[in-house]
Amino acid sequence: DAGVIQSPRHEVTEMGQEVTLRCKPISGHDYLFWYRQTMMRGLELLIYFNNNVPIDDSGMPEDRFSAKMPNASFSTLKIQPSEPRDSAVYFCASSTSGGATQYFGPGTRLLVL
């Protein structure tokens, strides 16, 4: 299996622009998670899905952030408009319904200027 796939790996954008991060979970995994990693706050869970349905979005920082999972093999995390404080590494992870081990993707390193 290819593991969790994320794109792009790096993104540099200017403040105010829309940013879309993409994730393909491991085939057969029913849970998908979006995390943000910063030096100041460490790893934070933003939102997670089960069977394509958002279950808990309490970690989403504000309305500028939105996430979708239109099908079992694809999810997006969108920031609109982006701000410099959104600069971070965004990880996607997936897991099966029968276990709690989460498998992480390589991350997207976002820099908002």
Partner 1 sequence: AQSVSQHNHHVILSEAASLELGCNYSYGGTVNLFWYVQYPGQHLQLLLKYFSGDPLVKGIKGFEAEFIKSKFSFNLRKPSVQWSDTAEYFCAVNENDYKLSFGAGTTVTVRA
Backbone φ/ψ region at 92: left (φ over 0), alpha (ψ -120 to 50), beta: beta
Nearby residues of 85 by Cβ (< 8 Å), 6 or more positions away = 112
Of 38-67, binders to partner 1 (CB under 8 A) are 42-43, 45, 48, 50, 56
Q: Does 25 bind partner 1 (CB under 8 A)?
A: no
Stretch that binds partner 1, among 16-24, 64-72, 78-86, 105-113 (CB under 8 A): 105-113
34 binds partner 1 (CB under 8 A): no
By CB under 8 A, tell whether 102 contacts partner 1: yes
What is the number of other CB atoms lying within 10 angstroms of the CB of residue 23? 25
**Nearest-5° angle of CA 89, CA 99, CA 49?**
50
Q: What phi and psi, each to the nearest 5 degrees, are found at residue 34? A: -115, 130
Strand partners, 20: 78
Residue whose structure tokens are 């600069």: 87
Pick between residue 43 and residue 111 the one whose CB is nearest to partner 1.
Answer: 43
Binding segment for partner 1 among 16-24, 60-68, 79-87, 93-101 (CB under 8 A)? 93-101
Q: Considering the complex, what minimum distance in angstroms separates the CB of residue 97 from partner 1? A: 9
- Residues lying near partner 1 in the complex (CB under 8 A) are found at 31, 33, 42-43, 45, 48, 50, 56, 91, 93, 95, 100-107
